[in-house]
Amino acid sequence: MRLSQAKELLAHSEMSIERITHTVGYEYRSSFEASFKKEFHLTPKQYRRRMRGDCLAPVDAGLA
């Protein structure tokens, strides 16, 4: 449930990943990112880029 909400926020909001982390109930970004990657096989940043059509951008471009 929390990760589904995170997917929606990543795809449809401008909230930072740090803020999404706390909004969906994780205390630490590292825990959130590990859970997200385990479930969806993408980091939150990678997921956001794919949903926004920017999947060819370098991973460390800092756009998320």
pLDDT digits (tens, 9 = 90+) for 28-59: 999 999 999 999 999 999 999 999 887 555 55
- Residue 57 in any domain: the answer is no
Task: Evaluate if pTM is beyond 0.85.
Answer: no
CA distance 57 to 21: 23
- Residue 35 in any domain: the answer is yes
CATH number at residue 18: 1.10.10.60
Q: State percent of the chain over pLDDT 90.
A: 78
- Residue 58 in any domain: the answer is no
Q: What is the mean pLDDT of residues 1-12?
A: 96
Calculate the alpha carbon distances from 56 to 15, 51, 52 in Å. 21, 12, 11
